[in-house]
Homo-oligomer: A and B are copies of this chain.
Amino acid sequence: MTSTNTAKGTRDFAGVELWKRNYLFGEIKAVFLKYGFEPLETPAMENIETLTGKYGEEGDQLLFRVLRSGDFLQGLDDAGLRKEKLRTIRQAIVDKGLRYDLTIPFARFVARYHAELPMPYKRYQIQPVWRADRPAKGRYREFYQCDADVAGSTSLLLDSEFIPMVDEVFGRLSLPPSIFKINNRKILAGIGESLSGHYSLESLTASIDKLDKIGMEGVRSELINRGFSNDDVERIGQFMAIDGNNAEKMHRLAQMLPSGSLGQTGLVELNEVLSYLSNCPLDNTQVQVDFSLARGLNYYTGTIYEVVLKGIDMGSVASGGRYDNLTEGFGVKNLPGVGLSFGAERLYDVMENLGLFPQGVGRHCQLLVINLDEKLNPVYLGLVQSLRKQGVATEIYPAKVKIGKQMKYAEKKGIPYALIAGEPEFEQGKYQLKNLETGHQEAFDLPTLIHQLTA
């Protein structure tokens, strides 16, 4: 007897939970389409070379690897089959891996077809990804990502457009007001350049990225631990202390960075991105320049963003940025891009916690025809088919069991109406329609009944 468990960290989705997930994905998708993004779907499995080395050492560890088909030991001899040769063996017996994110498959796709695609190429992708992470609350081994990216353009107008797009998505989902934090990687590099010591940009950004969580004191001690001099830590503290509105922050930073430096370029870019929004009122979103925003992934080279919901302790619910060399690893240069990813699993949790999913979401079936007499099955089926042809999603209970049990079935499925008819009703052409929420019951002829249900 086989266990009915799903594989660790993976989930079945059904019933109301799946309706809600599909509603969430559907709203995001509708906005993606409205902004001119086209769908892309890539295979769940990629050749292992497509994936390895793309996500750092940790990512390589977390890849799910698929065994070669057939004689998977083919490339090895008994001498090579030793326990200490784990990595060599793995390399020999594995030829595919499961999709780890949606960015690398997108890059592979664009590198492959860039000559034929409409350029700039705007695609969205809503598909599951797999990571061999330790499962925990809110962390799964199979989860969905919702990405929108534009490849093939340096225009910062594209960077701007993600801001009203997020505003519209979150508005449609009735989410609380959001803070759209924005920064530019070149500004971070500029801050790094303005220090007297030479440090890796990664160690700088990794530290200041934690400002929200550990405060400036925490960042200070982390920087000291990473070998930053006291003077430089002091200077970084001055950058992080810049406050005011967006214009004031940018003005202040411009004064602090050497003219003609990379940091100034970053400021010009950031200013351009924000300037495009001047005619573009946002309903629910506050755009906030944040020089401590760093984003972990190192492929970003320009604009970076991260969106949080006010008063919701959930971390970022959308994030993204601009990159210069999306497809370089696949041998195609000069294809810059910019993209944003919604944290779909987190958004689901927020909406669930706040009760934001619409009542009756996904309720499709409208009517259950109660089975009073199995001899009437052909008549029931005829009736059900007429209703379906008129667009009424209808079910017939397939056997004559107690009416209460049939009503219970309708209730469990969220079917709002029941039709009750036996031989006399069919003869008269009048059917009892029961509203299962209010309990109200009334007899209608078929056209009126259909009108009731489709109005």
Q: Which positions in A face B, CB cutoff 8 Å?
A: 1-7, 10-15, 18-19, 22, 33-36, 38-47, 49-50, 61-62, 64-67, 69-73, 76-78, 81-83, 86, 89-90, 93-96, 98, 105, 108-109, 111-113, 117-120, 122-123, 128, 130, 132, 141-142, 150, 153-155, 157-158, 160-161, 164, 168, 275-281, 329-331, 364-365, 374, 377-383, 385, 388, 391, 393-396, 398-399, 409, 412-413, 415
Query: Are the CB atoms of B399 and A164 closer together than 8 Å?
Result: no
Q: Contacts A7-B96, A379-B279 hold; do A142 and B39 have CB atoms under 8 A apart? A: no
Shortest C-beta distance, A410 to chain B (Å), equals: 9
- A34, A64, A277, A415 pick with most chain B CB within 10 angstroms: A34
Please measure, in the bound complex, the distance between the C-alpha atom of A437 and the C-alpha atom of B19, giving whole angstroms: 39
Query: Are the CB atoms of B280 and A378 closer together than 8 Å?
Result: yes
Query: Are the CB atoms of A83 and B90 closer together than 8 Å?
Result: no
Query: Are the CB atoms of A39 and B22 closer together than 8 Å?
Result: yes
Query: Are the CB atoms of B33 and A364 closer together than 8 Å?
Result: yes
- Which residues in B have their C-beta under 8 angstroms from that of A81? 78, 81-83
Query: Are the CB atoms of A388 and B120 closer together than 8 Å?
Result: no
Query: Are the CB atoms of B3 and A18 closer together than 8 Å?
Result: no
Q: What would 28 A/B residue contacts be, using CB atoms closer than 8 Å?
A: A1-B330, A2-B49, A4-B330, A6-B42, A12-B42, A12-B43, A12-B113, A13-B41, A14-B38, A18-B39, A19-B39, A34-B364, A36-B393, A44-B44, A44-B142, A45-B130, A64-B66, A66-B98, A73-B83, A117-B412, A157-B377, A157-B399, A161-B396, A164-B388, A276-B378, A276-B381, A279-B382, A280-B385
Shortest C-beta distance, A358 to chain B (Å), equals: 17
Query: Are the CB atoms of B7 and A109 closer together than 8 Å?
Result: no
SS class of chain A's interface: helix, strand, loop or mixed?
mixed
Query: Are the CB atoms of B43 and A277 closer together than 8 Å?
Result: no
Please measure, in the bound complex, the distance between the C-alpha atom of A14 and the C-alpha atom of B81, giving whole angstroms: 42
Please measure, in the bound complex, the distance between the C-alpha atom of A294 and the C-alpha atom of B3, giving whole angstroms: 31
Please measure, in the bound complex, the distance between the C-alpha atom of A33 and the C-alpha atom of B19, giving whole angstroms: 12
- A38, A93, A330 pick with most chain B CB within 10 angstroms: A38
Known pairs A14-B39, A18-B38, A279-B385 / 9 extra A-B pairs, C-beta < 8 Å = A2-B330, A15-B38, A33-B365, A43-B142, A61-B70, A65-B66, A118-B412, A157-B374, A168-B388
Which chain B residue lies CB-closest to A332?
B4
Query: Are the CB atoms of B2 and A275 closer together than 8 Å?
Result: no
- Which residues in B have their C-beta under 8 angstroms from that of A150? 398
Q: Contacts A98-B66, A279-B381, A381-B276 hold; do A409 and B39 have CB atoms under 8 A apart? A: no
Q: Contacts A118-B412, A393-B34 hold; do A381 and B157 have CB atoms under 8 A apart? A: yes
Q: Contacts A45-B130, A142-B45, A381-B277 hold; do A119 and B365 have CB atoms under 8 A apart? A: no
Please measure, in the bound complex, the distance between the C-alpha atom of A43 and the C-alpha atom of B64, giving whole angstroms: 14
Please measure, in the bound complex, the distance between the C-alpha atom of A38 and the C-alpha atom of B168, giving whole angstroms: 29
- Which residues in B have their C-beta under 8 angstroms from that of A141? 45
Shortest C-beta distance, A385 to chain B (Å), equals: 5
Query: Are the CB atoms of B2 and A388 closer together than 8 Å?
Result: no
Query: Are the CB atoms of A78 and B67 closer together than 8 Å?
Result: no
Which chain B residue lies CB-closest to A141?
B45
Query: Are the CB atoms of B381 and A43 closer together than 8 Å?
Result: no
- Which residues in B have their C-beta under 8 angstroms from that of A35? 388, 393-395
Query: Are the CB atoms of A2 and B108 closer together than 8 Å?
Result: yes
Query: Are the CB atoms of A47 and B123 closer together than 8 Å?
Result: no
- Which residues in B have their C-beta under 8 angstroms from that of A69? 62, 64, 132
Shortest 4 CB-CB contacts between residues of A and residues of B: A279-B382, A36-B395, A155-B398, A10-B43
- Which residues in B have their C-beta under 8 angstroms from that of A7? 43, 45-47, 95-96
Shortest C-beta distance, A61 to chain B (Å), equals: 8
